Amino acid sequence: MVYRTFWFYLLKDKDKAEIFLKIERYLTFLNIPQLERQGADIQSKIDELEALNQSMRDRDKLKDDAIAHLSDQLVALTARLDSIERTVESIQ
């Protein structure tokens, strides 16, 4: 693991400070209200995505049911057509 972080020690203090300023907000938890807002925002996004996922599952189930119904109708029509063809052949 040392070889992966070694580059950090080669940086000048100014560059280290810039990196720290970029990541500081992810390291400190001093602003509790902001963290709570972010948590609420994340939770609302999760809830929204779960609702969207459920609606897509419901719609997918409806489509599966419709396809199954159409398939059953196709089988019935095919059987009926075969019956009609046999009747026509027997008449001729």
User: Could you tell me the pTM of the whole model?
Assistant: 0.52
pLDDT at 8: 66
pLDDT bracket for residue 84 (50, 70, 90): very high
Q: Domain of 52?
A: 2-91
Tens of pLDDT, residue by residue over 16-40, are 889 888 888 777 767 788 878 888 9
**Alpha carbons 48 and 26: distance in angstroms, whole number:** 25
Tens of pLDDT, residue by residue over 38-59, are 889 999 999 999 999 999 999 9
pLDDT bracket for residue 92 (50, 70, 90): confident
**Alpha carbons 48 and 55: distance in angstroms, whole number:** 11
Among left, alpha and beta (phi > 0; psi -120 to 50; other), residue 78 is alpha
> What is the total count of domains within the chain?
1
